[in-house]
């Protein structure tokens, strides 16, 4: 009888953060190249680039840390 092993929830949370952070980061780069006509408050600080990088970093850390664990 084979026993199924499951990945921990942090593995999937890491994948989701990586994907969402990548999308937000790429949108930030796109908005640098082609800025929108209507400016947002504090748009010159580029929060989408910073938060995208933060999400990619933490998502990658969580994904890397839990990639070999099985529950």
User: Residue ranges of the domains in the chain?
Assistant: 9-65
How many CB atoms lie under 10 A from the CB of residue 36?
Answer: 9
pLDDT at 25: 98
Nearest to 32 by CA among 18, 52, 17: 52
Nearest to 18 by CA among 55, 61, 46: 55
Tokens 């504090």 locate to 42
The segments of the chain whose pLDDT lies below 50 read none
| CA quadruple 38, 43, 46, 47: dihedral, nearest 10 | -100
pLDDT at 5: 83
């Amino acid at each position: 009888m084979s026993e199924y092993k499951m990945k921990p929830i942090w593995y999937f949370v890491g994948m989701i953060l990586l994907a969402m952070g990548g999308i937000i980061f790429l949108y930030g780069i796109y908005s640098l190249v082609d800025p929108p006509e209507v400016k947002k408050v504090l748009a010159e600080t580029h929060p989408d680039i910073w938060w995208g990088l933060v999400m990619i970093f933490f998502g990658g850390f969580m994904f890397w840390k839990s990639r070999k664990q099985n529950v």
